[in-house]
Structure 1
């Protein structure tokens, strides 16, 4: 049984269909990447999993159909979404942003334990602990956004364009941390326009075009595919 499986899922913004009967699966312990151009449906796929858009079809997580659940219930099951553009709370301190990721946890010692785990991945976040989130650099904000997701202690991490707008050296750091998280057992569904970098760390990948999954394969095979090279890796 897959940890996450989308079966013939369509998604709608009003009357506009943004996803057309897509099927995607993510096994426990995998990094799976979803690749496509702007407007292809990548972010909508993640929003569908999180209950943020209207969908038809079935979305199964850990054996349970979550397609009709509200977003907060999906989050409590262990689905953490790090959205495109980071979406931190700019007027809250770094510490307060992290605490928002553990809003369901009442045990202060458990919150501190989770925070220390975040600091082990992102020492720079610890250095900025009492700084307002909005005054951090783009790279630091991305680290904070991922850290906030980790505070949920999720079973799966949904990452939407973590490299967007960042300097190459910061992108490299972020991708190294994604790999490290995965080696420690975290399952990750990665949406990324930097297809080459995403496929280098992923186990499998899906190509999405105008709301349709048009290709699925192992990451190595997609890296070597001439059509994929021409469209996304040139």
Structure 2
């Protein structure tokens, strides 16, 4: 069943035509990856879904057109976005960052339960609970960014370059957590420059180039595609 569907989505930054008719789907329970070079339109696609960029075309989430919806309403509908560069609140503690992620949750007991659940995936955050986010390592900040997004108990998780700037051993940990989330029912749209690692864990993939989808297929088929190998896996 299709959870998310983009149909002929276009986006502009001033006079720059950033997305040129993006069409893609994410089915419930999948990890779908969007790969491409810098400036191809990967992050803009996620921002368009979240309502952070004005678009043309349709963005359908669980049967509802959310194309013109304000970002905070989209978040409350069940889409959580972990942006490129993590964007945690550096002066706030881990605890405060997590509480900010639950901005619309009024039940304090439920917030506490979700914080405890985040420690199952990210036990390091429990050790750093009262530490300012900006004083943690890059890997710990990435864990915090994902945990903060999970505080809304989203139906769909948008991950933008979760491996960026991290040591290989931390990247492996982050990708294992992404797989754990998916095994526990989380639907994920993953934007990632590390195409090999992304395609290894995804069900399906799309290749974006200068704002257009140029390839889409089963992830295993994309891994063996000569065009993908030459451009992204060399």
| TM-score, with structure 1 as normaliser | 0.99
Taking the aligned partners of 1:222 and 1:8, their CA distance within structure 2 comes to 22
In structure 2, what is the equivalent of residue 195 of structure 1?
A: 195
Map residues 172-191 of structure 1 onto 2, 5 A cutoff.
172-191=172-191
Cα contact 2:54–2:68 (8 A) shared by 1: no
Deviation readout 1:88-119 (Å, 9 max, x if unpaired) = 00000000000011011111110011111100
Q: Once the 2 structures are TM-superposed, how far is the Cα of residue 71 of structure 1 from its aligned partner?
A: 0.4
- Mapped pair 1:69 → 2:69: yes
Secondary structure of 1:114's match? helix
Q: Once the 2 structures are TM-superposed, how far is the Cα of residue 54 of structure 1 from its aligned partner?
A: 1.0
Q: CA RMSD in A?
A: 0.5
Secondary structure of 1:176's match? helix
In structure 2, what is the equivalent of residue 41 of structure 1?
A: 41
Moved over 6 A (4+): none
Secondary structure of 1:37's match? coil
Taking the aligned partners of 1:102 and 1:205, their CA distance within structure 2 comes to 30
Secondary structure of 1:89's match? coil
Aligned residues: 234
Q: Once the 2 structures are TM-superposed, how far is the Cα of residue 129 of structure 1 from its aligned partner?
A: 0.3
In structure 2, what is the equivalent of residue 110 of structure 1?
A: 110
Taking the aligned partners of 1:19 and 1:158, their CA distance within structure 2 comes to 18
Structure 2 regions of 5+ residues with no counterpart? Answer: none
Secondary structure of 2:2's match? coil
Q: Once the 2 structures are TM-superposed, how far is the Cα of residue 15 of structure 1 from its aligned partner?
A: 2.3
Structure 1 regions of 5+ residues with no counterpart? Answer: none
